[in-house]
């Protein structure tokens, strides 16, 4: 008897404060192109009918997301975010597992501050990872020359070969059981792919697009504003 087809879920960690941007509110709620960044990111995932449910993980005292996303089918706001991205993602994964998602089902983890995700890249991620036992992530090849700084962080000590360097993006898509175990065992990682790597697995790189960058600085915000206004 064959196994049932894997289902698809998503987690958006949105409990951060966005201190580096220096805004008066968490960056996921800043408006770009007429909508909050979080809403752009949620809508990008809602555009994929094959994603059954999207869990948006916010800080325990955050009520903005619930009001903003109220009434959206397939979207659940979970006010159980932690001090780090890893903690928030793990809370979302456990909520999915507790509500019926299986260890072989897929989860797509997407940054709230990446509102430039395109449907074509989301579809490519699913197609290229469909038969993978592990999963992978959207990423773009490095096109600039990369310099390595010394201990003072300003002096060049090496020029790195860029032929095999990629910039990681999201969504990062992995089997739920595998990802829960990996993140649980490796709490210091900065993204899901790093946890999977530390656990001894090999994520696959799927080429995304440069508009899917993470908004971190005021300059990023201005650039994203221009990009989304043209859509």
Give me the DSSP letters along 98-134.
Answer: HTT--TTSEEEE--TT-TT--HHHHHHHHHHHTT-SS
Residue 38 domain boundaries: 8-139+167-229
> Residue 58 in 3-state DSSP?
coil
Residue 99: how many CB atoms within 10 A of its CB? 11
The reply to whether 149 falls in a domain is no
Phi, psi angle pair for 67, to nearest 5°: -70, -40
Q: What is the pLDDT of residues 133-167, one digit of tens each?
A: 999 999 999 999 999 999 999 999 999 998 999 99
Indicate whether 22 pLDDT > 70: no
Selection from 231, 221, 4, 227 nearest residue 113 by Cα: 221
Q: What is the mean pLDDT of the chain?
A: 94
Say if residue 18's pLDDT is above 70.
no
Percent of the chain with pLDDT over 90: 92
126-136 mean pLDDT: 96
pLDDT at 216 over 60: yes
CATH code of the domain containing 113: 3.90.550.10
Q: State how far the alpha carbon of 78 is from the alpha carbons of 57, 114, 138, 194, in Å.
A: 5, 19, 25, 24
Look at residue 1 in the predicted model and tell me its pLDDT.
Answer: 55
Tens-digit pLDDT profile for residues 90-112? 999 999 999 999 999 999 999 99
Q: Number of structural domains, the chain? A: 1
More confident of the two residues 57 and 25 = 57
Question: Is 58 a member of any domain?
Answer: yes
């Amino acid at each position: 008897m064959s196994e049932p087809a894997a289902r698809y879920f998503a987690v958006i960690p949105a409990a951060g404060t966005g201190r580096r941007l220096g805004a008066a509110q968490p960056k996921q709620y800043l408006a770009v192109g007429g909508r909050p960044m979080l809403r752009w990111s949620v809508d990008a995932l809602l555009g994929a009918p094959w994603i059954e449910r999207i869990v948006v993980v916010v800080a325990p005292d955050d009520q903005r997301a619930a009001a903003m996303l109220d009434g959206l089918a397939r979207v659940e706001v979970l006010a159980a975010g932690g001090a780090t991205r890893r903690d928030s993602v793990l809370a979302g994964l456990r909520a999915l597992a507790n509500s019926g998602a299986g260890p072989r089902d897929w989860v797509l983890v997407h940054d709230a501050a990446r509102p430039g995700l395109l449907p074509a890249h989301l579809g490519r991620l699913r197609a290229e990872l469909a038969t993978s036992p592990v999963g992978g992530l959207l990423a773009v090849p490095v096109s600039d020359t990369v310099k390595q700084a010394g201990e003072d962080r300003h002096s060049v000590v090496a020029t790195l070969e860029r032929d095999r360097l990629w910039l990681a993006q999201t969504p990062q898509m992995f089997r739920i059981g595998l990802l829960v175990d990996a993140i649980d065992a490796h709490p210091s990682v900065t993204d899901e792919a790093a946890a999977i790597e530390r656990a001894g697995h090999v994520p696959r790189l799927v080429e995304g697009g440069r508009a899917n960058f993470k908004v971190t600085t005021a300059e990023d915000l201005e650039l994203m504003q221009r990009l989304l206004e043209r859509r």
